[in-house]
Amino acid sequence: MHTAHLVFYARPEEGGRRRFGCTVPKKVGKAVTRNRLKRLFREVFRKTRQTLPEGCVLIVNAKRSAADMSHQDVLEAFEKISTRLAAEGYPPCEP
């Protein structure tokens, strides 16, 4: 699934834990920008963790345009993905 600035990958995991990973390629910006985005992603994940389905491993890959995202933009993207995962009957495949 993708938004204007982020690409999300979700997969099921046994054990019911919600996990998170993120990648921010060098095309997004210098180290300061990439680290700011990673901190922002982790913080938003902590806030929205309970809205994700049980056993969801969520991986976020930033696009080049993600460098200018604000906290509110990231929060809206995570909420949109959580809603979409619930609507599509996550998990779509067996672990």
**10: its two tokens:** 């979700």
80, with CB counted inside 10 A (0-12, 13-18, 19+), is middle
The band of 95, judged by pLDDT with boundaries at 50, 70 and 90, is very low
**Average pLDDT estimate for 3-9:** 94
pLDDT in tens, 36-89: 999 999 999 999 998 888 888 999 999 999 999 999 999 999 999 988 988 887
Q: What integer pLDDT is reported at residue 87 of this predicted model?
A: 86
Q: 67: closest CA among 36, 88, 43? A: 36
pTM for this prediction: 0.86
